[in-house]
Amino acid sequence: MNKIFIQMQRKTKKDCQCSAMHQVNYRQLLKDCLKRKPEAQKMLYKHFAPTMLGVCFRYTKSMNDAEEVLQIGFIKVFDRLRQFNEEGELAGWIRKIMVNTALNYLKTNQRYRYDLSFEDTPLHLVTTEDPEMNLRVKELAELIRQLPTGFQTIFNLYAVEGYKHKEIAAMLGINEGTSRSQYARARMILIEWIEKFSFKEQNGLYGTK
């Protein structure tokens, strides 16, 4: 399972690097965006939106919500573009804004605020349309999205984004111990789900009644 988490982190870094590598006249594009030129803003959006939508979707429970977070996030990106230090990677800078935007969305949206709990609530696996998972990155990401919102958020921040528990605690307004315990429990549940899928696949139980 650790190997899959590493693959998710590597994919995240690769997506950011690819976004930066394919920039054409990178500096000029930023300058034009700072001048609020619509074509430049559209180009920047089209370049990063597909990757960043995946980031937003990782923290929400529906694609509609992810798209809403994405739009809010890009408004912030364009408003704060002067704060970007060109010595760093623009993709990574945008990603941080998207993650923070997603967290704010969870805290302020009534549907998520109610579920953004870190109490010891029971977990269950939601049935998927295609239960035969081979535990690729995409499938594990879907399992993570089935965790309760609080666990899902902490797991993503720690295992995927690479934040420390102290940082997560500050971001979510909880104590560091809570972040550690919720991550450990979420990880344990994911391992149980993965083992369940593996057992059924090995014994040919899928598709039987």
Q: Is there a common fold for 1-115 and 117-203?
A: no
Most confident of 117-121, 125-129, 160-164: 160-164
Q: Give how far Cα 113 sits from Cα of 52, 148, 177, Å.
A: 22, 12, 21
For 15-32, the pLDDT digits (tens) are 554 444 454 577 888 999
Q: Average of pLDDT values for 7-14?
A: 56
pLDDT tens digits along 140-175:
888 898 999 999 999 999 999 999 999 999 999 999
If pLDDT is split at 50, 70 and 90, which confidence band does 138 have? confident
Taking a C-beta distance cutoff of 8 angstroms, is the pair 78, 67 a contact?
no
Q: Are 43 and 29 in contact (CB under 8 A)?
A: yes
- Across residues 44-53, what is the average pLDDT? 95
Architecture of the 117-203 domain: Orthogonal Bundle (1.10)
Q: How far apart are CA 83 and CA 23, in angstroms?
A: 19
Domain extents for the chain?
1-115, 117-203
Share of the chain above pLDDT 90, in %: 55
Bigger pLDDT: 126 or 190? 190
Whether residue 33 has pLDDT greater than 90: yes
Mean pLDDT across the stretch 51-63?
94
Per-residue model confidence (pLDDT) at position 20: 46
pTM: 0.75
Q: May I ask the CATH architecture of the domain 1-115? A: Orthogonal Bundle (1.10)
Residue 2 binned pLDDT confidence (cut-offs 50, 70, 90): low
How high is the mean pLDDT of the chain?
A: 80
